[in-house]
Structures are given as C-alpha cells and as structure tokens.
Amino acid sequence: MPETRTHYRACHLCEAICGLEIKTRGEEIISIKGDPNDPFSRGHICPKAVAIQDIHNDPDRLRKPVKKVNGQWQEIGWEQALDEVARKLADIQLAHGNNAVGIFAGNPNVHNYGNITHAAVIRKAIATQNGFSATSLDQLPHHFASYHMYGHQFLIPVPDIDHTDYMLILGGNPLASNGSMMTVPDVKKRLQAIMQRDGEVVVIDPRRTETAAIATRHHFIKPGSDAYLLMAILHVMFYRGWVDAGHLATLLDDVDEVRELVQQFSPELAEKRTGIPVETIVEMTQRMVETPRAVCYGRMGVSVQEHGALCQWAIQLINLFAGNLDVKGGALVPNSAAGYVKPGERGAGHFNRFQSRVSGLPEFGGELPATVMAEEMLTPGEGQIRAMLTLAGNPVLSAPSGQQLDEAFDGLEFMVSMDIYINETTRHADYILPPTSALEHDHYDFAFHRLAVRNTARFNEPVFEPEPGALHDWEIINRLSQKLGEYKGIEVKTFPAPSVIVDQSLQYGPYGKYSEQGQSNAEDKLDLLLLRNHPHGIDLGPLKPSLPERICTADKKIRLLWPEVVAEVKRLANRTETLKQNELLLIGRRHVRSNNSWMHNSHRLVKGKPRWRCLMNTEDMQARKLVDGDRIVITSRAGEVQTEVEQSDEVMHGVVCLPHGWGHTREGVQLSIASKQQGVSINDLTDATVYDKLSGNAALNAVPVTIRAAS
C-alpha cells in the first residue's frame, strides 16, 4: 500500500487563499481540511475546497488536447495540437492583420500564478489590440481609480479589517464570496470581531445578504443608485466641515474643485434616488468621520454597474477626506512580499491609448472592454475578429448579451481554448488545450497577497506529479507562443518557470535581500527557499501606512480630478429616471457552494436546495399573481429566459435576483453533472450596450427586466 502523505497548500478557488491540509495515499486524495497552522486563514475553509478533489478526479476534465473533426472531438498529441493551432493563428494574422485574432482571459488566470507570470509571452506573440478579460466584467473600476489617483493600477488600498471599528460595505457579500479586492480568509470571524470590540458593520445592499444578516445594520438601496449616496456622503463631509485628510493633505490639489463638484449632490437628492433617508446618510457620514478607525469599502454591486468607476473614485475620496486613508484601521495599501508596488514598478497601466474598432471604447492596460467583444467578432470590415483564443474563461456565461456572444463564437473562422472543460464557450472551439490540474503544479498567490488584509507569503509544492506528457498552462503558453512566432516570423521570448520569477520578485521585494526599505521582520531575508521551508506560510505582520512614499504619479501627489471623471460627475447629475412602470431591477448573487460558472460539475456542491432560482419579493409576486416555484419568463432588452421564481423578502421591493454562471443545458456541453442542473444564464439578460461610460466596465447589476408567468 502506498504511504499516506500530508501536503500544505493554498486553495486556488477564490480570493481568500485559505491554507489547506491535503492528505493523499498514492494518487488518491483521502481528505482536504483547513490548515490550522496557516497564520492567515487559521484553519478556515469553505465547502468548495473539499470539492477540489472532484475537479481533480472529474472524468469530464480534459487531460489531452482535443480537436474537432466533423463535429466530433478527437484526442490528439501535443506536438500536433500546438503546431496546427500556431499555424492556423499565424495564417489568419498574416492574411488579415494581428487584430484578426482576439484573446479572452478569464478569472482562473489570476488564481494560477503561471498564467500571471507568462501572460506577457502570449500577448507579445499574438500582438493584437483585441485583448479582453474578466477584469472588465469585474474589478476594472478599482484599477481605473488607482491608476488615475495613485499612478499605479495595483496600488489598491484595502480595508484594515482587523483594526477597524466602523466598516461601511456597499455591494459586497463577503460571507458568500469570502471577500474580494480584499483577501480576507475567515472573514465571518473577522467581521464579528469588529462588533465584539463595539465597532459597527453597516451593509448597503438591495438584498438582505448573509453578510447583512450578521452586520450591525443593513439598509436597502435601489440598484444602480449608489453613486448618489457616495456623492452625498462627500457633500455632507464638505458642507459640515468634516474634511481632514491628515498626513495626506499636503499631497492634494483641487480640493476646492471637489467641494464644488459635490455641491449639487445633496442627501435629499440621494434619498430620492437611493431610498435611504437623509438622517441615515448624515449619521453614516458622521460615524465614518468621528470613529478614529473607520473604512468604506465597495465591491461587485457598486463596481459592476453603470457608474462603477465613479463609485470606486468616490470611495477613495471618502476614505481620504474622512482621514481614513493610509491609517491603521482604515484603508491601507498592502506591503506584499512579491509584486510590491512602488515608483518605477512595472505594469502601472495606461488608458485610452487606442479604442475599439466598432464603438470606440477606450483600452485600459492594453485591454478593451469585454462588452465590445461580440460586436468586434460580428461586425464585418477591416480588423474584424476572425479567430479567438480563450484562456481559462467562459464568456458565454460570464459576459453580457450572452446569447449574442454564443452566436459570435459560433460564426468564427477559428477558435482555440486553453481550458479543462468542454463547456458553453469552449464547445465552439476547434481545439482545446488542457493544462495540468491545479494540484499538479506549484503555487504562489501573486495576485492576492497584493490585496490581502494582512501581509503574509506562502509557496506550495505540487501535490501530485503531472500525468506523463501533460503541460502546465505556462508551458503551453511558452510553446504555443514560440511556434506562433516562428510562423509569423517574429521573435518571441519565452519566460522561465514561474517559481524563478517569483523568487526574483521576493528577493527585490521589501523583505528580500535586495530590499531598499529594510522592512523585513522575517527571521531571514525572504526568498523562495525560505518559503519552501515554511509550507504553512510566513506572517509578515499587519498592514502599515506607506502610501506617500509609494505614490507612482509623476508629481508624487494624489490626483483627485481629471477631465473624464469630471464629465462623469456631470453625467450623473443630469441623469433622469428611466425605469418604466412594471419594470424590475435585476441584480446578481453568489453562493458559498458555487464558483462562477465552472464548479457545477461537482455533485457535492450542486446537491440539495436549488440555488439558481430567481428571488422575488412577496409584494412583487402578488402584483403578478405568482406563487413560489412558478415558472416565469424574464425579459430584458438583450434577451429572454424561462426559470423558476422563489419568494424571498431578502430582496427589496422592485428588485429580482439571479446568480450568474448557470445555464449548462446548451447542446454540446460535456459536463455530465452540471448539464443535468436547471437554471439559466443571467447574462442572457444583461446588456452589452449598457456599460460604465467612464471605465468601459460592464454593467451587470441593475438591469431593467419585466416578468410574467410562463404559460
């Protein structure tokens, strides 16, 4: 009998990066538990982590490249697959230009560090302006605000949740999501600890979420109206004389201009638009200003709506002018061991260097908004996308106007997907190139230590040896890019293993031997070897104020205003109410047993009560003569779906709520468990023509819909 082994490893599924203890015997996984010795997650896990074994063992998971021949999938060897794919992509680009090939990179790219370290290799080889990613369905407003205000898209302040005494959460449900743009394992205990030290957690959400249920207070808000609330908070701060930026005051210009801009956004106007009473708004503002350690935080619900970037900008201003930015218990920029952002650090970002061909939307950091992806494929003319590479993404279910995207992928001349499943998107591909399973490669959380509420670092070895001949994502990227370069006649530089890159970043980081900052409190100078010897991870202490010396703008000041943001404030001021009578506003939701679109093939996660139904308030159901469990038709400008309604007064009057990532019954999907689940895709209803004008981010929340009983 093979020996039993214990492995320590970060969970790669969500941003909480919990430490896991995985016991194996030979090729078998015996147990997956929380690692109590992980200094950050302290033993916490959620049900998804246990399901990692279901993905690893899933017979539907691809292990070898497949090619579609006469509509049938055939397994082929890696040499043939890489060669044929590279040749076809090169042919299309040589005939029609580089922009004829598009790329969509999905969410798991940031949870798989080789895809982060090697993204530049494939981007160089393909060299297209038609690059898209899940960023513009998600956190683009955060990068947008940080780029413009602090000069670097990754200089992102996060709530110092372990030391705050007042936390205002807008449009985030960390109890289901386990935190986002704030890496915070064990978030429930950390939020409860705020209240145990007599602090307060206040949640603003159109749904009384799991987080709202444990918070000190919850206020409903009309979806899509948060910008009025945030501007009103700034208004109250300025007009009651509650503005004090503390040690950051000398880094500011344009304070008077901000005061002028917020003047027209009275709390009375905010009450009218949001439904939150004036007294509540004033009280919230006062608490935020008067509590020495307070923070305002906003996530998906405020980022992924029509004024997403304005909301994230306003949240920065609120923290700044309340004296809560760059102070203990407020919002702090993490001092990460690798990828530490300081002046001169690469990848600061850029904006509007080029625009999309059809609608003229601006790029950010070299990518165009995913909302224009379908029209770039469907609109004929020079520069039309004729071929796509999807890399760990499922945009048919995750991007707006999903039915149109489905059609667009179907009409492509050529498509290749780097993915582990044949799903709603990859079923359209001609080739699928599957990487190793997550447990077969090493791991360092390059993205999430940079957003963590405590400074820690951890490197993990693979749990299993890769199957013979299998390639990691980064190896596929290197080899495909090199071949593509050969066919295109351009030089493509491949990168060494991700661990080599991380080792360098650690050594040059604030705790490494080449550190200029001398911040190190690790027992030794941090590098990969030291991390290898500490598989539970190393604690590097609480977040520390460090913003002034890290601001990356040319004049080292915080930029409060720029022309586009001023124009957007005016747009908000001039916005009129367009919701028709009988229309409801559709919002999303997440559940702790689901992960975007790709974990519904685990029986252990999908069993039990259905989690895909449409939540509706009693009053709205009665008005439509509906009862719990009825079949309903939901119609929006973009599409129509049929599903079941669930009576729930968790959602406010006038609001309905569907999770995203469902709708696996499409033809050709090879997910034997997921495709037996009912549920439809919310993104068949969301609308690609409605987006955040400031950043180009999608507006997936607050979608006007009508609902009737299905006949």
Q: Which does 18 bind (CB under 5 to 8 A by kind): ligand MGD, ligand SF4, Mo ion, none?
A: ligand SF4
In the complex, the smallest distance separating the C-beta of residue 13 from ligand SF4, rounded to whole angstroms, is: 4
In the complex, the smallest distance separating the C-beta of residue 158 from Mo ion, rounded to whole angstroms, is: 16
In the complex, the smallest distance separating the C-beta of residue 358 from Mo ion, rounded to whole angstroms, is: 26
Exactly one of 45, 51, 82, 221 binds ligand MGD (CB under 6 A); that residue is: 221
Q: For residues 19 and 223, which CB has a smaller minimum distance to ligand MGD in the complex? A: 223
For the chain, report the end-to-end CA distance as a whole number of angstroms: 60
Stretch that binds ligand MGD, among 72-80, 101-109, 494-502, 572-580 (CB under 6 A): 101-109
In the complex, the smallest distance separating the C-beta of residue 15 from ligand SF4, rounded to whole angstroms, is: 7
Q: Does 138 bind Mo ion (CB under 5 A)?
A: yes
Q: Which does 588 bind (CB under 5 to 8 A by kind): ligand MGD, ligand SF4, Mo ion, none?
A: ligand MGD
283: left (phi over 0), alpha (psi -120 to 50) or beta: alpha
Stretch that binds ligand MGD, among 239-247, 348-356, 551-559, 589-597 (CB under 6 A): 589-597
* Residue 298 structure tokens: 């906003």
Q: For residues 32 and 309, which CB has a smaller minimum distance to ligand SF4 in the complex? A: 32
In the complex, the smallest distance separating the C-beta of residue 678 from ligand SF4, rounded to whole angstroms, is: 24
Distances (CA, A) of 273 to 229, 231, 276, 449: 8, 12, 8, 37
Which strand ranges, in their side-by-side order, compose the sheet holding 72-75?
72-75, 66-69, 431-432, 414-418, 387-391, 101-105, 131-133
Q: Which residues contact 76 (CB under 8 A, 6 or more apart)?
A: 64, 65, 66, 67
- The candidate with the shortest Cα–Cα distance to 22, out of 2, 51, 63, is 51
Q: Which residues pair with 417 in a beta bridge?
A: 390, 432
Q: For residues 112 and 507, which CB has a smaller minimum distance to ligand MGD in the complex? A: 112
x-or-dash string of contact with ligand MGD, 10-29, rule CB under 6 A:
----xx--------------
Instruction: Look up tokens 């947008």; give the residue.
Output: 144
| Contact predicate 19/37, CB 8 Å | yes
C-alpha dihedral sign at 369, 374, 375, 377: positive
Interface size with ligand MGD, residues (CB under 6 A): 64
Q: CA–CA separation, 708 vs 632, rounded Å?
A: 6
In the complex, the smallest distance separating the C-beta of residue 703 from ligand MGD, rounded to whole angstroms, is: 8
* Residue 527 structure tokens: 């590098």
In the complex, the smallest distance separating the C-beta of residue 139 from Mo ion, rounded to whole angstroms, is: 7
Q: Residues 281 to 310: which contact ligand MGD by CB under 6 A?
A: 299-302, 305
Helix (H, G, I), strand (E, B) or coil at 335: coil
Taking each helix axis from N to C end, the angle separating 278-290 and 267-274, rounded to the nearest 10 degrees, works out to 120
Q: Residues 304 to 343: which contact ligand MGD by CB under 6 A?
A: 305
Q: CA–CA separation, 328 vs 294, rounded Å?
A: 9
Q: For residues 179 and 323, which CB has a smaller minimum distance to Mo ion in the complex? A: 179
Q: CA–CA separation, 446 vs 462, rounded Å?
A: 16
Q: Does 595 bind ligand MGD (CB under 6 A)?
A: yes
Q: CA–CA separation, 187 vs 455, rounded Å?
A: 16
Closest-by-Cβ residue to ligand MGD is 301
Exactly one of 82, 89, 92, 137 binds ligand MGD (CB under 6 A); that residue is: 137
Q: Which residues are at the interface with ligand SF4 (CB under 6 A)?
A: 11, 13-14, 16-18, 45-46, 48-49, 178, 185
Q: CA–CA separation, 426 vs 394, rounded Å?
A: 7
Exactly one of 589, 600, 664, 693 binds ligand MGD (CB under 6 A); that residue is: 589
In the complex, the smallest distance separating the C-beta of residue 18 from ligand SF4, rounded to whole angstroms, is: 3
| Contact predicate 201/60, CB 8 Å | no
Q: For residues 49 and 615, which CB has a smaller minimum distance to ligand SF4 in the complex? A: 49
Q: CA–CA separation, 383 vs 129, rounded Å?
A: 10
In the complex, the smallest distance separating the C-beta of residue 190 from ligand SF4, rounded to whole angstroms, is: 12
Q: Does 401 bind ligand MGD (CB under 6 A)?
A: no
Q: CA–CA separation, 82 vs 88, rounded Å?
A: 10
Q: For residues 188 and 342, which CB has a smaller minimum distance to ligand MGD in the complex? A: 188
Quote the distance between the C-alpha of residue 154 and its chain's center: 13
| Contact predicate 443/10, CB 8 Å | yes
Q: Which residues contact 390 (CB under 8 A, 6 or more apart)?
A: 103, 104, 105, 106, 415, 416, 417, 418, 419, 425, 426, 429
In the complex, the smallest distance separating the C-beta of residue 444 from ligand SF4, rounded to whole angstroms, is: 15
Q: Which does 392 bind (CB under 5 to 8 A by kind): ligand MGD, Mo ion, ligand SF4, none?
A: ligand MGD
Q: Which does 49 bind (CB under 5 to 8 A by kind): ligand MGD, ligand SF4, Mo ion, none?
A: ligand SF4
x-or-dash string of contact with ligand MGD, 420-439, rule CB under 6 A:
xx-x-----------x--x-
Distances (CA, A) of 32 to 18, 179, 199, 467: 12, 21, 35, 21
| Contact predicate 513/455, CB 8 Å | no
In the complex, the smallest distance separating the C-beta of residue 478 from ligand MGD, rounded to whole angstroms, is: 14
Q: For residues 230 and 540, which CB has a smaller minimum distance to ligand MGD in the complex? A: 230
Q: For residues 175 and 245, which CB has a smaller minimum distance to ligand SF4 in the complex? A: 175
Distances (CA, A) of 673 to 315, 593, 606: 42, 15, 9
Q: Which does 11 bind (CB under 5 to 8 A by kind): ligand MGD, Mo ion, ligand SF4, none?
A: ligand SF4
Exactly one of 592, 624, 653, 665 binds ligand MGD (CB under 6 A); that residue is: 592
x-or-dash string of contact with ligand MGD, 164-203, rule CB under 6 A:
------xxxxx-xxx-x-----------------------
Q: Which does 534 bind (CB under 5 to 8 A by kind): ligand SF4, ligand MGD, Mo ion, none?
A: none
| Contact predicate 330/293, CB 8 Å | yes
Helix (H, G, I), strand (E, B) or coil at 9: strand
Q: Which does 584 bind (CB under 5 to 8 A by kind): Mo ion, ligand SF4, ligand MGD, none?
A: none
In the complex, the smallest distance separating the C-beta of residue 686 from ligand SF4, rounded to whole angstroms, is: 25
Distances (CA, A) of 236 to 296, 453, 572, 681: 15, 29, 18, 40
In the complex, the smallest distance separating the C-beta of residue 544 from Mo ion, rounded to whole angstroms, is: 27
In the complex, the smallest distance separating the C-beta of residue 10 from ligand SF4, rounded to whole angstroms, is: 7
Q: CA–CA separation, 268 vs 276, rounded Å?
A: 9
Q: CA–CA separation, 354 vs 611, rounded Å?
A: 41
State the residues that interact with Mo ion by CB under 5 A.
138
State the residues that interact with ligand MGD by CB under 6 A.
14-15, 106-108, 112, 134, 137-138, 170-174, 176-178, 180, 204-207, 209, 221, 223-224, 226, 299-302, 305, 392-395, 398, 418-421, 423, 435, 438, 473, 587-592, 594-598, 660-661, 682-683, 686, 700-702
